Amino acid sequence: MNRIEKVREYVDTVLLTMTDTTERRCGYLHLYGVSQACTLIALKRNENAELATIAGMLHDIYSYAAMDTKEHAHKGSIMAREILYDLKVFTENEVDIICSAIYNHSSKGTTHSPFDEVLKDADVLQHCLYNPLFDVLEHEKARYEKLKSEFGLGNLKTFCRGL
């Protein structure tokens, strides 16, 4: 089994233990959606797509495991580090790269490493594409506009409302 599938297997065990089916659904949609967006953005920006996919799968694992969003990025990076060490298939450097992105992913107004930015942008993209009829959150607007430009999406919201 490849490393992405090992992480997905772990994430699935966390999500399947959730008793609230609505939260479980949100967990699957968000973690898998951010993971796929990470892959796309990493490929476009020539970043490590495998590690980005994994960072996306784990970025909010603490929130879903603990049902607590307070300081979830920082607490999640600690939890992700433990998970990645337990899987015994990642180097120290790979763990550091993934956990840095998770640690910084809530700091949308600050620029970090190019790899960290992949996760932040993927998180925003999933939030905004979950339902393109919803308004974009104020703190995500600038990133979302840059992403639409980067991917040549033009005025996506107007297009979707016309459907």
Answer positive or negative: Cα dihedral of 66, 2, 41, 16: negative
List pLDDT tens digits, range 44-84: 999 999 999 999 999 999 999 999 889 999 999 999 999 99
* Domains of the chain from N-terminus onward: 3-161 (1.10.3210)
Helices and strands in the chain: count of H runs, count of E runs: 9, 0
The two three-digit tokens of residue 122, written as one number: 């993927």
pLDDT above 80 for 104: yes
Task: Please give the model's pTM, rounded to 2 decimal places.
Answer: 0.92
**SS3 of 5-19:** HHHHHHHHHHHHCCC
